[in-house]
Structure 1
Amino acid sequence: MDPLTQGLLGATAARCAHRRQHSVSRTCALGFLAGMAADLDVLIRSSSDALLFLEYHRQFTHSLVFIPLGGLICGLLLYLPLAKKGHIGLLWSIAYCTLGYATHALLDACTTYGTMLMWPFSKERIAWNTMSIIDPLYTLPLVALLILSCSHGGRRWAAPVALCLMLSYPTLGWVQRERAQQAADSLARSRGHQPESLETKPSFGNILLWKSVYRYNGRFYVDAIRAARWVTVIEGHSIAELDIPRDLPWLQADSRQARDLARFTWFSKGYVALHPHLPHRVIDIRYSLLPHEINALWSIELNPLSPESGVGYLTHREDSSSKGRQLWHMIVDGSPP
């Protein structure tokens, strides 16, 4: 989830536990900063290893067992510059920060990227696929309710209402995901396919239009599902699943590039394919700006001439404004671009 929403939700959680003798604004500030703090793991990077951040983002800082430690660290660091001046004691500073910190990983798990909630006991990237990473229909009401709660003569009811929104919107997303998944499964079966794996995930900024990806007989099939009053399908494209002996015959099994490819495949949950026009580029087909397309948002570039060099990591945002307009039309009226 985007940092602003994470901070707002953290502030809302702290506001719900606010004590009258404490400064409301500083209580919310503690929750806001702690609510964003887990994403500091994006600073774990290496100039010689382009995939390092993929391993550590949403890893230990986002695990359930790390919440008390994360809250403690934030509470200690923010006590002197922020909490003490608002007549907030050290223990309360830690408590407010822990509440704010606790919201982060759970909200991230509602999105599609994957969050290691059970680290270090499991490296599974949990993704409930009920919300987009950015969703204004979720964020804007949080802003309004938090402002109401923190305004002069603050309305204490606004913070609990905001927490109810936190729970109800992902629940609605779960209902929408199930509708989209049923439609995607029916679509596959209408083609005579028995999906070996199938995922549906919300497209950018909404829970109305969904991307469906399923694997069958060595190929991935990508379609868009619009789950409005009536569920409609916008059929997309298919692409062959990555087959290393066939697609990358030069790749040495014990080389660094082979290990990097394995890391990228793990991160992508196996939804990888060779770029249709670039023979050394491997794409993650789960994400695209338009949900019925296979135009990946990120990929890795291998180099057959240097098997012991690290792979390159690439992001793709070409023509995003034009695709944004097309996405809007698909959301509003379900028409294909």
Structure 2
Amino acid sequence: MDSLTQFVLGAAVSTALLGKKLGPRKAALVGGVLGTLPDLDVLIPYDDPVDSFVFHRGWTHSVFVHAFAAPLLGEGLVRLFKGLRDCRWLTWLTVFLCLATHAGIDAMTVYGTRLFWPFYPDPVGVGSVFIIDPLYTLPLLAVVIWALFKGTWTRRLQTFTVAVLAVSTGYLGLSVVLQRHVEQQAREIFRQEGIVPDEVFAIAAPFNILLWKVIGLQEGRYDNLYISLLDGVKAPEIYPHPRHPELVACVEETEAFRKLQWFSRGYYRAEQENDKIVISDLRMGMTPNYAFRFAIADVQDQGIRAMSPVRVTSEQRVNPEDWAWLTSRVMGELAIRRAEAAIAGVGEPIRGQSCALTDASSG
């Protein structure tokens, strides 16, 4: 999630548990700082942009690392604040929860986090909330602002803080229920159109849990479907796109591709852009301007040559028309996403190139 959400979530947790001991202002500030600590892994330098992509939200987001770090950080707080010296265990618990809730909310996004590293190294990414969701963040922000401006602890503040934490947690639970419902609905829509995907994955659209992007994945193609909970009887538009497995066959032995395949959980596509083979993560961003795209091989006359990965960025990440389309779809209007409809189609295999892969260091 975004940094503001992580700060106010940690601040609310700390206010609820330590507000009486520290005072609401200090408790909120301590929790806010703790709630942002796991994201300091962005300071870890990586030479390879693929590594930077797949290993972000790594060990710093593991609940096992948090369990180890909680007594260390907690003891520092006990020594720093006199009011905590008679509640060491509560302080340790608060530190753990501030760190672990950061990782937990990140795990609800599609990017995910390596929540159970090192025992389960794969990222956990539910995808039921977008990285910025005002309905989740604003109630937490309100209670934290109250705590920051409140000089003394009151039972009313504690009750309100706990209530907001309960409601925000319930919101996350509701998002998972809605995600499963949308996936079932999408399977039925695909079936009616004669499409039988191997996998179906619903991802919360930006800023809400009313509109969902659904990816129906097959070996050679994928279909995007946008479902609003306010849709009527008529089924929404399906947008088919090629995955170009003939290009995948040329790069599947490269380390960069294997990492991207693993991290994306198979939700990727290959495409040839000029003289490069580019792999895109289908889960993040809007087609065709995906948020994470990497050129991993050169297309040359003599064949395909592996290259040091380079992140490919689009000049226009968001089509201006998409904002109006997004609003319409959230409200259940069956608007066509023109930027995607213009390029939709299963497509033909890319031919005419040898698939003899050579290493980037050779020749």
Distance change (3 Å), C-alpha of 1:275 and 1:240: same
Q: Deviations over 1:180-218 (max 9, x none)?
A: 112210111112222211100101111011000012352
Judge conservation of contact 1:223–1:233 (CA < 8 Å) in 2: no
Structure 2 match to 1:261:
257
Structure 1 match to 2:343:
none
Q: Deviations over 1:88-124 (max 9, x none)?
A: 4494654432221121111111111122222111122
Distance (whole Å) between structure 2 residues aligned to residue 300 and residue 99 of structure 1:
35
Structure 2 match to 1:3:
3
Q: Which letter maps to 2:18?
A: H
Judge conservation of contact 1:180–1:225 (CA < 8 Å) in 2: yes
Q: Which letter maps to 1:332?
A: M
Distance change (3 Å), C-alpha of 1:148 and 1:51: same
Q: How many correspondences in the alignment?
A: 324
Q: CA deviation at 1:175?
A: 2.3
Larger radius of gyration: 2
Structure 2 match to 1:271:
267
Q: Which one of 281, 286, 304 corresponds to residue 284 of structure 1?
A: 281
Distance (whole Å) between structure 2 residues aligned to residue 266 and residue 184 of structure 1:
25
Distance (whole Å) between structure 2 residues aligned to residue 302 and residue 168 of structure 1:
42
Judge conservation of contact 1:41–1:61 (CA < 8 Å) in 2: yes
Name the SS for the 1:71 alignment partner.
helix
Judge conservation of contact 2:277–2:295 (CA < 8 Å) in 1: yes
Q: Which letter maps to 2:269?
A: A
CA RMSD of aligned residues (A): 2.7
Structure 2 unaligned residues grouped into runs of 5+: 338-363
Q: Deviations over 1:113-162 (max 9, x none)?
A: 12222211112221222211110111111111233345245422111012
Judge conservation of contact 1:179–1:227 (CA < 8 Å) in 2: no
* 1:14 lines up with 2:20 in the alignment: no
Q: Which letter maps to 1:269?
A: R
Q: CA deviation at 1:76?
A: 5.6
Q: Deviations over 1:69-96 (max 9, x none)?
A: 333454466677xx43x74449465443
Structure 2 match to 1:124:
122
Q: Deviations over 1:280-329 (max 9, x none)?
A: 2121122224xxx4432221012426946421123447153713343223
Structure 2 match to 1:34:
34
Structure 1 unaligned residues grouped into runs of 5+: none
Moved more, 90-99 or 310-319: 90-99
Name the SS for the 1:69 alignment partner.
helix
Distance (whole Å) between structure 1 residues aligned to residue 176 and residue 252 of structure 2:
42
TM-score normalised by the chain length of structure 2? 0.80
Distance change (3 Å), C-alpha of 1:144 and 1:50: same
Q: How does 1:171-190 map to 2 (within 5 A)?
A: 171-190=173-192
Judge conservation of contact 1:219–1:238 (CA < 8 Å) in 2: yes
Q: Which letter maps to 2:116?
A: M
Judge conservation of contact 1:10–1:101 (CA < 8 Å) in 2: yes
